[in-house]
């Protein structure tokens, strides 16, 4: 194991240890009491429900682009990781619509379960892109299983600690990986954008009521959905630009060969 990999492993162990050092973390019942509970177009909690369309659109856009890539070059481990990421985003949009339509712990399961798929698949894609593709491939199945188990464990035990690790460990490792393993701007800028937008979205989620009181028409949680889905769109755009650049390079080589 290289020094850089050792740093990442140590940080991961520290984060896991800190989270599990405290007692079990129960779901706060007040979590379901969102600031904006207006009915819109006959939909309860309409803004929080409808703002999930961003996830559905971004996820579908990513999936449509990957289908084109698969038709051109077949499945690779990296494409599978991105495919699962967009599937997770798409399904989390649907699950979050269901949850916000009837917010309680039972419906929250269908919001969180696909989110774990998105978190873990993107972490594996990050490892494949910047560290080692074989490592990303080896980690994909166990990390996806851990994500799903974190939600199942919460349902069974009421303890959120493992889910907290699944959600926040990728966010902590992401900047470390980008700093330790230098990436081209065409990759680093979209990924930094995703991280920044998601971080701001979590802050807005925390200040849900304050944002709603200040604006009078949009809540922090609604804005969380908008910004987080915009982060996903950054990754779709990155993959689209990558394909565009590759196609241009192939055409350029072909024209040079013809000349």
* Percent of the chain topping pLDDT 70: 93
**For residue 112, pLDDT beyond 50:** yes
Question: pLDDT for 113-123, tens place per residue?
Answer: 999 999 999 99
Residue with tokens 């700093």: 179
Mean pLDDT score of the chain, rounded to an integer? 91
Q: How far apart are CA 216 and CA 224, in angstroms?
A: 16
pLDDT at res. 250? 35
Q: Which tokens go with 56?
A: 């559905």
Q: How far is CA 156 from the centre of its chain?
A: 24
pLDDT at res. 71? 81
Q: How far apart are CA 243 and CA 70, in angstroms?
A: 12
pLDDT at res. 243? 76
| Domain membership flag for residue 255 | no
Identify the band that residue 31 occupies on the pLDDT scale cut at 50, 70 and 90.
Answer: very high
- More confident call, 247 vs 211: 211
| Domain membership flag for residue 118 | yes
| Domain membership flag for residue 203 | yes
**For residue 254, pLDDT beyond 90:** no
Indicate the number of domains in the chain.
1
| Domain membership flag for residue 131 | yes
Range of the domain at 59: 45-244
- More confident call, 83 vs 252: 83
| Domain membership flag for residue 143 | yes
CATH of the domain at 49: 1.20.1070.10
User: CA 61, 123, 76: angle at the middle one, nearest 5?
Assistant: 65
**For residue 245, pLDDT beyond 70:** no
**For residue 1, pLDDT beyond 70:** no
Across the range 81-87, mean pLDDT stands at 97
| Domain membership flag for residue 173 | yes
pLDDT at res. 257? 43
Q: CA torsion sign, 75 to 77 to 79 to 85?
A: positive
| 12-26, 78-92, 188-202, 244-258, range with the lowest pLDDT | 244-258
pLDDT at res. 253? 38
| Domain membership flag for residue 239 | yes
What is the pTM (predicted TM-score) of this model?
0.92
Q: How far apart are CA 151 and CA 99, in angstroms?
A: 15
Q: How far apart are CA 164 and CA 171, in angstroms?
A: 11
| 221, 213 Cβ separation under 8 angstroms | no
| Domain membership flag for residue 31 | no
Question: pLDDT for 181-207, tens place per residue?
Answer: 988 999 999 999 999 999 999 999 999
Q: How far apart are CA 165 and CA 150, in angstroms?
A: 9
Across the range 94-118, mean pLDDT stands at 97
Question: pLDDT for 52-82, tens place per residue?
Answer: 999 999 999 999 999 888 887 777 899 999 9
């Amino acid at each position: 194991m290289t020094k850089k990999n050792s740093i990442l492993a140590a940080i991961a162990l520290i984060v896991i240890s800190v989270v599990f050092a405290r007692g079990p973390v129960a779901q706060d019942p007040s979590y379901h009491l969102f600031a904006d509970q207006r009915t819109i177009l006959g939909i309860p909690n309409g803004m929080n429900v409808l703002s999930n369309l961003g996830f559905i659109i971004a996820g579908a856009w990513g999936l449509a682009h990957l289908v084109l890539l698969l038709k051109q070059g077949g499945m690779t481990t990296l494409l599978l990781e991105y495919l699962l990421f967009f599937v997770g985003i798409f399904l989390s949009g649907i699950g979050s619509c269901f949850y916000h339509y009837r917010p309680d712990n039972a419906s929250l399961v269908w919001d969180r379960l696909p989110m774990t798929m998105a978190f873990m698949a993107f972490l594996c894609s990050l490892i494949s892109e910047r560290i080692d593709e074989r490592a990303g491939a080896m980690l994909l199945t166990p990390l996806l299983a851990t994500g799903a188990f974190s939600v199942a464990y919460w349902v069974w035990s009421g303890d959120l600690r493992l889910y907290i690790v699944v959600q926040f460990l990728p966010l902590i490792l992401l900047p470390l990986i980008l700093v330790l393993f230098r990436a081209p701007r065409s990759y680093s800028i979209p990924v930094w954008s995703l991280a920044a937008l998601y971080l701001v979205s979590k802050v807005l989620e925390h200040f849900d009521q304050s944002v709603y009181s200040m604006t009078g028409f949009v809540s922090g949680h609604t804005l969380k959905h908008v910004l987080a889905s915009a982060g996903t769109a950054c990754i779709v755009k990155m993959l689209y630009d990558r394909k565009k650049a590759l196609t241009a390079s192939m055409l350029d080589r072909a024209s040079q060969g013809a000349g």
